[in-house]
Chain A
Amino acid sequence: MAKIVVVKRVLPTHLSILVRVLTAFAGLLVAVLITSSVTGLSFVETLKTAFESFADLNVLRYISVFLPTALGLSIAFNARLWNLGAEGQLVIGAVGATFIALYTPIGKIDFAAPVTALLFASLCGLLWSIPPSLMKLYLGVNEAVVTLLMNYVAYYFTNYLVKGPWRGRGVYGYPTTDLIPDESKIPVVPGYSFSWYIVIIALAFVAIAYLLLYKTRFGIALRALSSSISAVELSGMSSKKLALAAFTFSAALAGFVGGSEILVYHRKLVEGDIVGSGMGFTSIMVAWLGGLNPFGVLAASYYTAALYRLSFALQIGSAAIGDALSKAIVGTLFAATMVAEFVSRYKIVVR
Chain B
Amino acid sequence: MAKTVYGIAIALLVIGIVAGYFIGYYATPKVAAPPQTVTVTAPGAYQTVTMTYTQTVTSAVGVATYTPPAKVKAAFVYVGPVGDYGWSYMHDIGRRVVAELYKDWLETTYVENVQAAQSPAVIDDLVRKGYTVIFTTSFDFMDQTLEKAKEYPNVMFFHCSGYKRAPNMGTYFADLYQIYYLNGLMAGALTKTGKIGYVAAHTIPEVVRHINAFAIGAKEVGEQLGKNITVYVIEIGAWYDPDKAKAAAETLVKQFNVDVLAFTEDSTAIVEYAESLYKQGKEVYVFSHYSPMYEWGPDVVVSGQLVRWEVIYADILAKVKAGIYRPGNLENVDYWYLLNTGAVDLGAHVYPNGTVMRINPKFIPILKNIMVKDVRTGEAMSVYDLVMKRYNEMREAPILESLQGTALTHELESLASVSTGSSHVPAATIAPVFDPFTGPLKGYCIASYSRFCSGKAAGSEVSVKPGERLTHDDLWNMDWFVSWVAFQGKMG
Contact = CB atoms under 8 A, between A and B. Distances in A.
| A and B associate | yes
Interface of A: 12-14, 17-18, 21, 52, 54-62, 159, 163, 169-170, 172-175, 179, 188, 190-194, 261, 265-268, 270, 274-275, 277, 295, 298-299, 302, 309, 312-313, 315-318, 320, 322-324
B124 A58 contact: yes
A321 to B, nearest CB: 10
B352 interface: no
Contacts of A188: 120
Given A56-B24, A58-B121, A173 B17 contact: no
A172 B49 contact: no
A172 B205 contact: yes
B256 to A, nearest CB: 23
B30 A191 contact: yes
Nearest to A61: B121
Nearest to A193: B120
B: contact size bracket: 35 or more
Given A54-B20, A295-B10, A13 B5 contact: yes
Nearest to B476: A172
B121 A193 contact: yes
The 8 closest A-B pairs by CB, nearest first: A55-B24, A193-B120, A190-B35, A14-B5, A191-B32, A193-B121, A323-B113, A13-B6
B6 A14 contact: yes
A287 B163 CA distance: 41
Contact of B32 (A190, A274, A316): A190
A159 B238 CA distance: 11
Interface of B: 2-3, 5-6, 8-10, 13-14, 17, 20-21, 23-25, 27-28, 30, 32, 35, 38, 49, 75, 81-83, 107, 109-118, 120-126, 128-129, 131, 139-140, 143-144, 147, 151, 163, 202-205, 208, 237, 447, 449, 476-477, 479, 490
Nearest to A279: B117
A191 B151 contact: yes
Contacts of B479: 173
Most buried by A among B13, B116, B144: B116
A273 to B, nearest CB: 9
A55 B28 CA distance: 9
Most buried by A among B32, B118, B122, B139: B118
A26 B144 CA distance: 36
Contacts of B9: 13-14, 17-18
Contacts of B140: 270, 274
Contacts of B82: 322-323
A175 B117 contact: no
Contact of A315 (B21, B109, B237): B109
Contacts of B10: 295
Given A14-B2, A191-B35, A191-B151, A169 B118 contact: no
A173 B117 contact: no
Given A17-B6, A316-B111, A265 B117 contact: yes
Given A173-B203, A324-B81, A261 B126 contact: no
Contact of B111 (A190, A298, A315): A315
B156 to A, nearest CB: 17
Nearest to A58: B121
A177 B75 CA distance: 29
Contacts of B163: 172
Contacts of A173: 202-205, 208, 447, 449, 479
Most buried by B among A14, A191, A261: A191
A188 B83 CA distance: 33
A315 B112 CA distance: 8
A104 B129 CA distance: 41
B117 A261 contact: yes
B489 to A, nearest CB: 11
A179 B126 contact: no
Given A194-B121, A270-B140, 13 more contacts: A17-B9, A56-B24, A61-B120, A172-B163, A175-B202, A193-B123, A265-B116, A270-B116, A295-B13, A298-B14, A302-B17, A320-B110, A322-B112
A165 to B, nearest CB: 13
Contacts of B110: 315, 320
Contacts of A316: 75, 109, 111, 125-126, 129, 131
Nearest to A303: B17
B24 A318 contact: no
Nearest to B95: A320
A179 B129 CA distance: 30
B253 to A, nearest CB: 26
Contacts of B23: 55
A318 B109 contact: yes
Contacts of A14: 2, 5-6, 8-9
